[in-house]
Amino acid sequence: HDLRGIYRLLTFVLSPAFIMRRSPALHARIYDTGTLTVVAARAGWCEAHYRGCVGFDRVLWENVLGAATAVLETAGAKNVRVKAARGGGDGDAELDLIAEWS
Averaged over successive runs of 10 residues, the pLDDT of the chain (102 residues) comes to 56 75 88 96 95 97 94 89 98 97 94
Q: How many whole angstroms separate alpha carbon 67 and alpha carbon 73?
A: 10
Provide CB contacts within 8 A for 12, sequence distance 6+. 75
> Which pLDDT score, from 0 to 100, does residue 89 have?
97
